[in-house]
């Protein structure tokens, strides 16, 4: 039988989708990228905000209308959170499966295909991981999940409701997965979790075989920790993990995604400084630059502390790439509050940011707060932040012009239809300061009449690019040569494969 997976949501959900694919392949199913050929269609859903929920539900309804003979299984966060309700209301779905333990997928597939309408949401325990036969990222890159769930309890966030309390993967298991990915030719590794700062601090965590690691500073409920996380010689779990990854030989680049600002692991900075393979890319979701709003979000930081954090990062890494996220229209946010956030963004001048209007989520504390802000106002404030960020991004991208970068090729596009440019090839890739899916790209121009350039510009490979122009989001550059790193990437893959007897 053939199956088709319709993937929604974040990078963590993508990893879950890759695990679902591997499970189905192990059952003897074959993946197809044409839903018309599929007997089973899986909608791996997002349930984080209202717009994402609607998108996932509409995907199920659309699949039922277009492919009436296929079985449709709803998986992911929406199924995890609302399976009981959706069984009654979403009649277009033939089954529902949560994300607590993907290894139990076989308990749903057989009854589903036999005509039953199963609902299964296994308890949230551990971190779902295992063999991934297919990586849904562009060639040369992969996400590595190191934690699941969250203990921060931000008042607006449903993640702890959906994915439960914080759990962390054992460090040795993460190292082995990284080695396996490198052996398969993956160059870019992106560590993901709801909050990487809290790695190893879950109630049942024992990631290094020494018991639970200490809680980072600023964590709600923490007692007796100094503002300096290294006062007593201890280092954070994330720092120790990075040291273990840094001890690996081989050619790769490592990016950290999602570090909560209230307990940012400052001890990771010297580790990153000492290893150029670990990128000075910091994804820190501040959500607001107004102190009253920050407190209402059940966060412990302040605008001043957040500004000092950015200053400290840039003191160590003047060229650091920094991404953040803002939530506009949070209950009680006034015009003055919104202005404070705008001023904050101008001050920290992040390279990238996402801006989202607040979405009410049942069972979260903020849902019962007073003084909810209207949707039009929330969207207007988001648009104002987008406008500010757009100018900052344009200015920061302009600083990249005239420089050379190794760019990971993601797509090779068709040649130009213009007769004068018929020999100009176009490819799309990312430099180190561009995270997958959320940041801009590098448009690579190369000579299609040159066999050497055509051989070099392939998906999953690095090419050396001279940046000649910048725009609102993307950069444009000219191919200047094959990256010398490609040979060492290939050698690293072979070495790790031999070490792992692959």
The Cα angle at residue 269 between residues 265 and 270, in degrees rounded to 5: 130
| Listed residue (301, 344, 300) closest to 324, CA to CA | 344
The backbone torsions φ and ψ at residue 103, rounded to the nearest 5 degrees and listed phi first, read -65, -15
Residue 388: both structure tokens together: 């500010």
Residue 217: both structure tokens together: 């500073």
Residue 77: both structure tokens together: 């966060």
Binding residues for [4Fe-4S] cluster: 10, 46, 77, 150, 154, 157
C-beta of residue 230 within 8 angstroms of C-beta of residue 271? no
| Listed residue (379, 285, 193) closest to 294, CA to CA | 285
CA distance 61 to 89: 11
Buried (b) or exposed (e) across 306-343, using 16+ Cβ within 10 A? Answer: beebbeebbeebeebbbbbbbbbbbbbbeeebbebbbe
Three-state SS at 433: coil
| Listed residue (245, 195, 252) closest to 218, CA to CA | 195
| Beta-strand pair 424-430/442-447 | antiparallel
Q: Which residues pair with 2 in a beta bridge?
A: 30
CA distance 289 to 338: 8
Binding residues: 10, 46, 77, 150, 154, 157
CA distance 395 to 308: 22
CA distance 351 to 472: 11
CA distance 136 to 18: 7
| Listed residue (464, 438, 475) closest to 190, CA to CA | 438
């Amino acid at each position: 039988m053939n199956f088709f997976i319709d993937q929604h949501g974040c990078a963590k959900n993508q990893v879950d989708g890759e695990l679902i694919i591997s499970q189905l392949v192990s059952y003897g199913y074959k993946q197809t990228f044409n839903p018309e050929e599929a007997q089973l269609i899986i909608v791996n859903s997002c349930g984080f905000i209202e717009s994402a929920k609607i998108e996932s539900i509409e995907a199920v309804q659309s699949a039922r209308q277009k492919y009436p003979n296929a079985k449709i299984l709803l998986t992911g966060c929406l199924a995890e959170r609302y399976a009981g309700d959706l069984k009654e209301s979403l009649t277009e779905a033939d089954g529902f499966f949560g994300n607590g333990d993907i290894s139990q997928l076989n308990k749903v597939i057989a009854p589903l295909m036999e005509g039953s309408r199963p609902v299964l949401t296994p308890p949230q325990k551990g971190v779902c991981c295992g063999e991934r036969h297919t990586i849904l990222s562009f060639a040369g890159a992969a996400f590595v999940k190191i934690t699941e769930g969250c203990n921060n309890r931000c008042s607006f966030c449903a993640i702890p409701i959906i994915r439960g309390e914080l759990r962390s993967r054992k460090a040795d298991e993460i190292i082995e997965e990284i080695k396996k990915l490198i052996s398969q030719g993956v160059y870019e590794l992106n560590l993901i979790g709801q909050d990487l700062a809290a790695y190893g601090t879950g109630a049942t965590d024992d990631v290094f075989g020494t018991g639970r690691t200490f809680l980072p500073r600023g964590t709600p409920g923490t007692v007796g920790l100094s503002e300096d996380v290294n006062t007593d010689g201890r280092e954070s779990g994330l720092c120790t993990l990075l040291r273990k990854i840094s001890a690996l030989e081989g050619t790769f680049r490592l990016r950290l995604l999602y570090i909560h600002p209230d307990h940012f692991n400052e001890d990771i900075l010297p580790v990153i400084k000492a290893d150029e393979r670990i990128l000075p890319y910091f994804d820190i979701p501040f959500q607001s630059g107004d102190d009253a709003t920050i407190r209402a979000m059940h966060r412990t930081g302040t605008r001043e502390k957040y500004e000092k954090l950015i200053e400290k990062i840039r003191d160590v890494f003047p060229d650091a790439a920094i991404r953040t996220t803002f939530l506009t229209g949070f209950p009680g946010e006034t015009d003055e509050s919104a202005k404070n956030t705008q001023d904050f963004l101008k001050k920290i001048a992040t390279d990238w940011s996402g801006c989202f209007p607040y979405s009410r989520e049942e069972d979260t504390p903020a849902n019962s707060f007073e003084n909810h802000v209207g949707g039009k106002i929330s969207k207007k404030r988001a648009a104002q932040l987008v406008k500010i960020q757009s100018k900052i991004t344009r200015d920061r991208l302009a600083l990249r012009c005239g420089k050379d970068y190794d760019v990971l090729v993601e797509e090779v596009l068709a040649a130009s239809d213009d007769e004068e440019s018929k020999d100009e090839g176009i490819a799309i890739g990312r430099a180190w300061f561009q995270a997958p899916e959320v940041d801009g790209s590098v448009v690579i121009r190369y000579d299609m009449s040159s066999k050497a350039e055509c051989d070099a510009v392939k998906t999953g490979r690095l090419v050396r690019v001279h940046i000649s122009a910048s725009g609102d989001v993307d950069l444009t550059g000219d191919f200047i040569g094959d990256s010398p790193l490609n040979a060492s990437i290939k050698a690293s893959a072979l070495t790790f494969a031999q070490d792992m007897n692959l």
